[in-house]
Structure 1
Amino acid sequence: MTATTALPAFVPIGTRPLGRIGRVLRKDRLAALGLALIVLVVILAIFGPWISPFPAQGYGATSVPDRMLPPSTVHWFGTDQLGRDILSRVIIGARPALTVSLLVVAIAALVGIPLGAIAGYRGGWLDQVLMRVTEIFQAFPPLLLAMVTVAILGPSLLNAGLALAICWWPWYARLVRAEARALRDRPFVEAARAIGVPAWRILPRHILRNCLTPVLVQATVDIGSVVLAAGSLAFIGLGAQPPSPDWGLMVAEGRGQIFTAWWISTFPGLAIFVTVLGFNLLGDALRDFFDPRQVKR
């Protein structure tokens, strides 16, 4: 066996992966639903300013005569205490929600994946040191650590994203470390070492490539989780600040009128729910898609 042995844990089995995707979506209606929800949210994030009915109100412009209007044919989701169209704010709020979530997951992965791969492949004292540092971060509840970090840095959407990235990277480090430890004694890795391939080439070509499947699944689910966490920070005043069209902030602004003007909090909350549901369903579908045991030979 040579160092270029196929990588069954990463490469989808079958000669037509696009056809497999189509078959999975036809058979798994939940996966199709998750993909449809994510596509919808992405479209809103990209084209929100052009498809929202009242884009100026989406960014914070007020209309006092229209305050607290219930859902109607003019304002489908109603208006808030300042007369702003809630549908427009929900649509425009998709962009910062997705942007922050993608940045948090990207930063967490860029920090955690190399550390986990090095720790798992090298082992020894380096593994012990890196894992002890990781455990220090994991010893704190993630949301509590994020709250403390934002309180130090100051409440804002950017600081909330940085705080969540600090909380999220240890999970990628431990995930990749476990995969690297399982892979470092595989025959194709030993063959690469035997012919003199240096570690700095083995790590990306043979270790990290075979870790991409669980990382991809975890990252997909984490995008939805970060949307929920960022909304939670905004809800308690430690995330996006008014008049930002943040979903969590919108829920907080309407909680005092939940029984008299239920639409102010309900529709932003549903936006969070739909986004998290879509990424969770897609993550489950990706896990099944890349699992060789799910493929009929």
Structure 2
Amino acid sequence: MFNWDDLRFFLELARKGRLVSAAQRLHVDHTTVSRRIAALEQAMDARLFDKSPQGYQLTEAGQRLLPYAEAMEAESINVLKDISGKDAQLTGTVRLATTEALGSQVVARHLPQFRALHPGIELELIAETRRLSLSKREADIAITLSRPDSGRLIAWKLGTYNLKLYASPGYLESAGPIRTAEDLTSHAFIGYIDDLLQMPELRLIDQLVKDPNFVFRSSNMMAQYNACLEGVGLALLHAFMAEFDDRLRPVLADEIEIRRELWLAVHEDLRSVARVDAVCQFLTELVRDHQSFLMGRPDSKNHEEPIA
């Protein structure tokens, strides 16, 4: 029989990926974490982690153990709530995966509110255009651009946002007027690197223009944004970033407006974990309360400062 308490060390190392980080969270020395993991592996007669320069990654056996350990953690919290009548303190790490623009310009800018509500939760934000697997525990929660269609996931729609075509006044002055969609064929475009883009929902410019003339591509949305500011070309940008920036102008605003959905997904094994549920609730309310802003419309109740 293994020591149940060793599962705390297993969970923290699985989440943090490094002995020192796990030890800091558990308030012990890193050698203690190593010793407890070794004891658990010996008791189970299985290697649970592979060590690499990037840290500790779960083996196949570790992946199989993870949902059981998380379920035991959730049940221990429920026991405390049921027997003592006290809510367990919300502590630990939650990893959120989302698109770069939403993560950097919406979620990150509202971290003070989240910290005030849940000071014991450490939020890790992965804001980029590649897909992460919730089933493989690459993230605990994901905000996606479409409803997940596979895996043991629970998902619900958060809201919507708009994208529009923008350019700097300098570019429009030098490159010539754009009166119709046909005029776009002679203009320069900024966009994503196709073979690095794992979210097809972001591959949009090709739908607007046949064989667009791309002069700059980047996997980084802020790089595209800044290139557009500098007059490099036209860019399809999030309205909640560009609409409130007086350094940019919408192009064919009455004709070009693309609406995208935001979905929140969480693995069903984690849905009842208190800290994960707390983050889910915060994100759901955040998007709901800032829906007008996400659509690129002013909202006096939740006014947002433009991108600096």
Asked if these proteins are the same fold (TM beyond 0.5), I'd say: no
TM class, shorter-length = under 0.3
How high is the TM-score relative to the length of structure 2? 0.27
Q: TM (normalized to structure 1)? A: 0.28
